[in-house]
């Protein structure tokens, strides 16, 4: 659940120049009043990143149906967007809760009334840990779980909290070689679970981890590495269940937006009346035209009609033509993601980009658009380009507000909403 009134109140916020690319005509108006003027994309300054309403709705529906058919709970990773308006849509579509990555993100989610939260991280910051403990004491209807990957983590949590009224549920995180966090063996993870069971401050909630750290492609070797890791997660859970360490229904959690099909393949067998598998996929809500467009199991070439589609685009304007086959755009690293691939030209001046047109580099505020074989006068200064973007997790954090268009393929898309982000 989420506080729908708090989410809707975002439309009462007043617009101003602190919102990048929002036009001066909107300054001083509330979001609600500005939307009533029927703005279009042409009213916005460049650069700008937009969301596509059609594909947002479709992506949320596709993932919700897919997880339900697989018998899995869905707790989308909210840190991807940090947008309560989108969280509300995901929860409305049937998601069990929202996954987050930091204690502060949890506090923000609680401010918007999110009641079921999975913190996919250790929580040993004293200020935040005590705050969350007090919040749980005050709200019986709130579900919260965090992670631990070492006996030291459990000891620190216990030291901070002492004896509590409501112990904090903790998942044992299993990692993998050269991965990120997580106990590096099943035996070590079992020692962590034993420490949790012995603590007066926390209680054992389940097991989990992040398989996406172990591969970066869908080659046979990459898929085998993910499968082997997920089998270890299942074995860890089976061992803890056999030892009787769970006090209630257990959670087994994995699943980013690259290998959720393998999570279903390897972990569906653990689902029963005492165990729920929770997928934490987050990027699916907007998908992309780069990394996830290639690696996701839910693209058209792998699943057919019910597939994910990119719901985000970058728009930038040519500001310089210093060389015959080079155009400089007014957007750079401060505007568009670049950690999982550079933006890709899709439409230039309202026409499909030609073969060979590409972005070769990004500076802080400029993009280098290479236009081989195209005359300078065919892409003059002032031309607007639509770009495909890669990796939503580093797209949203550059924008405090993103316009939502009705159809990014239209000649002049209508703005149908403005989505606030909190980073």
Q: Would the pLDDT of 81 be above 90?
A: yes
The pLDDT tens digits of the residues spanning 352-385 come to 999 999 999 999 999 999 999 888 888 999 999 9
Q: What is the mean pLDDT of the chain?
A: 96
Percent of the chain with pLDDT over 90: 94
CA distance 75 to 141: 17
pLDDT for 374 equals 85
pLDDT for 404 equals 98
Q: Would the pLDDT of 72 be above 90?
A: yes
pLDDT: is 101 or 180 the higher one?
A: 101
Beta pairing class for 48-52 and 73-74: unpaired
Q: Is 36 left (phi over 0), alpha (psi -120 to 50) or beta?
A: alpha
pLDDT for 268 equals 93
Q: Calculate mean pLDDT across residues 267-293.
A: 95
In angstroms and rounded to an integer, the radius of gyration of the C-alpha atoms of the chain is: 23
Q: Would the pLDDT of 333 be above 90?
A: yes
Q: Calculate mean pLDDT across residues 25-36.
A: 98
pLDDT for 176 equals 86
Q: Calculate mean pLDDT across residues 223-237.
A: 96
Q: Calculate mean pLDDT across residues 104-114.
A: 98
Backbone angles phi, psi at 201, to 5 degrees: -105, -25
Give 38's contacts (C-beta < 8 A, 6+ positions apart).
414
Q: Calculate mean pLDDT across residues 125-145.
A: 97
**7-11, 101-105, 255-259, 336-340: which has the minimum mean pLDDT?**
255-259
Q: Would the pLDDT of 340 be above 90?
A: yes
CA distance 384 to 399: 20
Q: Would the pLDDT of 400 be above 90?
A: yes
Give 160's contacts (C-beta < 8 A, 6+ positions apart).
124, 126, 129, 130, 201
Residue 304's pLDDT band, with cuts at 50, 70 and 90, is confident
For the range 86-93, what are the long-range contacts, defined as Cβ-Cβ under 8 Å and sequence gap of 24 or more?
86/56, 86/285, 86/419, 87/2, 87/112, 87/114, 88/2, 88/4, 88/7, 89/56, 89/57, 89/60, 90/60, 90/64, 90/285, 91/1, 91/2, 93/60, 93/61, 93/64
CA distance 196 to 183: 14
CA distance 26 to 415: 13
């Amino acid at each position: 659940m989420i506080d729908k009134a708090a989410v809707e109140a975002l439309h009462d916020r007043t617009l101003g120049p602190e919102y990048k690319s929002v036009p001066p005509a909107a300054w001083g108006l509330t979001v609600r009043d500005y939307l009533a003027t029927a703005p279009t994309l042409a009213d916005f300054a460049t650069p700008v990143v937009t969301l596509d309403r059609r594909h947002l709705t479709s992506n949320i529906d596709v993932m919700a149906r897919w997880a339900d058919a697989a018998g899995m709970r869905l707790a989308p990773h909210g840190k991807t967007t940090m947008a309560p308006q989108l969280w509300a849509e995901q929860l409305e579509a049937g998601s069990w809760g929202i996954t987050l990555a930091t204690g502060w993100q949890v506090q923000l989610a609680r401010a918007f009334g999110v009641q079921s939260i999975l913190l996919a991280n250790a929580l040993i910051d004293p200020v935040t840990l005590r705050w969350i403990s007090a919040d749980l004491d005050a709200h019986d209807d709130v579900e919260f779980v965090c992670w631990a990957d070492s006996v030291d983590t459990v000891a620190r949590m216990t030291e901070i909290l002492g004896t509590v009224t409501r112990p904090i549920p903790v998942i044992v995180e299993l990692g993998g070689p050269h991965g990120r966090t997580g106990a590096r063996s099943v035996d070590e993870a079992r020692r962590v679970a034993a420490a949790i069971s012995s603590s007066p401050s926390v209680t054992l909630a389940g097991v989990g981890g992040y398989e996406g750290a172990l591969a970066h492609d869908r080659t046979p070797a990459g898929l085998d590495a993910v499968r082997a890791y997920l089998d270890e997660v299942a074995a860890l859970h089976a061992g803890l269940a056999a030892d009787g360490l769970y006090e209630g229904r257990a959670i087994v959690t994995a699943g980013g937006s690259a290998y959720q099909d393998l999570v279903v393949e390897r972990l569906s067998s653990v689902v029963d009346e005492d165990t729920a598998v929770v997928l934490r996929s987050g990027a699916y809500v907007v998908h992309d035209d780069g990394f996830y467009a290639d690696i996701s199991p839910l693209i058209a070439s792998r699943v057919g009609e019910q597939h994910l589609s990119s719901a985000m685009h970058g728009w930038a304007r040519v500001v310089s033509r210093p060389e015959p086959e080079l155009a400089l755009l007014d957007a750079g690293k401060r505007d568009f993601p670049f950690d999982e691939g550079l933006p890709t030209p899709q439409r230039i001046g309202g026409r499909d980009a030609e073969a060979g047109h590409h972005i070769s580099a990004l500076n802080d505020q400029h993009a280098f658009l290479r236009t081989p074989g195209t005359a300078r006068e065919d892409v003059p200064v002032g031309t607007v380009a639509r770009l495909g973007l890669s990796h939503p997790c580093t797209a949203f954090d550059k924008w405090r507000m993103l316009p939502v268009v009705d159809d990014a393929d239209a000649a002049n898309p209508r703005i149908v909403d403005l989505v606030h982000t909190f980073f």
